[in-house]
Amino acid sequence: TINTTSTVSSTDAVNTNPSTQNPRQPTVIIVGAGPAGLFAALQLLQTPRHPSHPPPKVILLERGQPVENRGRDIGALINRQIL
């Protein structure tokens, strides 16, 4: 079974109506919520920018276990060598 989750950086759903989207606001899609993907999303959202440039809309896609559950999987791999 493959679990599919996606996280959007704002509380709003992804806006698909082009007439209401800010044309200067880029949309960035990050595939993978591992350490690199999470850090990339964090950096994109925390990087200072000029007031006329809105922060990007970040979409984080992940098909694996939720981040909270990965610690158990890593522990099982290290301690019992179970995948």
Whole-model pTM? 0.54
Residue 1: closest CA among 65, 66, 70, 72: 65
pLDDT beyond 90 at 70: no
Percent of the chain with pLDDT over 90: 24
Whether residue 61 contacts residue 32, with contact meaning beta carbons closer than 8 Å, is answered with yes
Q: Greater confidence, 75 or 8?
A: 75
State how far the alpha carbon of 58 is from the alpha carbons of 3, 8, 55, 66, in Å.
20, 6, 9, 18
